[in-house]
Amino acid sequence: MARTPIIAGNWKMNKTPDEAVAFVRELSPKLAERSQVDRVVAPTFLALPAVAAALGGSPVKVAAQNAHWQAYGAYTSQISVEMLAPYVDYIIIGHSECRAYLNESDENVNRKAQAILAADINPIIAVGESLAQNEAGETLPFVRAQVTAALKGIAPQDMPRVVIAYEPIWAIGTGKSASGALAEHIIKTAVRDTLAGLFGRDIAEAVRVQYGGSVKPANMEEYMTQPNIDGALVGGASLDVEDFAALIAIAARSKGP
């Protein structure tokens, strides 16, 4: 099945609202002709309304970097899916930095996934093992367990809207990337085959799976030529207009018709 590639820039805690708007104004025309690739930027919460307004009518879509599963209430510092809904098409959940610094648990990732799908938004669910787990040979069972827990109770018909991002923690922001072959192996055996076990092969083949971790223009093709890798979740290189546009161009070329 042909899956539309999806490249998302996770800006993390970078760019003020003014900087974010200036960035997307420069970026958007460079991506206009890449309609064979879904193009997404994920600014901070604070910049979302301004970025969404600046991109109005542009094919470049907006993601939030997190959300709370409750609609409103006494949850100091949190922002609900409903509050984000006017501005975003995607919401990233389960990022390893949220798991590490904000105590994001598998259970909460699952609650968030359910709330996001119920609001007709698309979750990008990040999974991935630590260096210690990788070195102990625990990668495959750990990633399988993360995928399974995140998707508990999700209706099969909602699954094609789900994006999974496999991001080995040891490759994030370190310049140490997984080889294309290794990323393909883990995505195939720990993500796609797990999806097939949970939802059946047809649905598993419809779900898009990204690789993330030190993706750059120089290594992008290595990932985009793998059959089970449908795009990338990009940190550092997404903060540079030329680099991000280059990543999208490589995806379009490698995955295009």
Phi/psi for 232 (5° steps) reads -145, 145
Among 212, 222, 228, 252, binds ligand 13P (CB under 6 A): 212
Mark whether 167 is an active-site residue: yes
Q: Does 180 bind ligand 13P (CB under 6 A)?
A: no
Return the residue nearest ligand 13P (CB atom). 235
Strands (E) located in the chain: 6-10, 38-42, 61-64, 90-93, 122-127, 163-166, 208-212, 231-234
Coil vs helix vs strand at 1? coil
Q: How many residues bind ligand 13P (CB under 6 A)?
A: 14
Contact 224, 209 (CB under 8 A): no
Mark whether 185 is an active-site residue: no
**Contact region with ligand 13P (CB under 6 A), list: 29-37, 43-51, 52-60, 229-237:** 229-237
Contact 10, 235 (CB under 8 A): yes
Q: Which is nearer to ligand 13P, 68 or 213 (CB)?
A: 213
Q: Is the CA virtual torsion 11, 14, 20, 23 positive or negative? A: negative
Q: What span, in angstroms and rounded, lies between the C-alpha atoms of 190 and 217?
A: 26
Q: Which is nearer to ligand 13P, 84 or 232 (CB)?
A: 232
Catalytic annotation, pick one of 95, 97, 129, 222: 95
Binding to ligand 13P in span 71-130, by CB under 6 A? 95
Contact footprint for ligand 13P (CB under 6 A): 10, 95, 167, 172-173, 212-215, 233-237
Active site residues: 95, 167
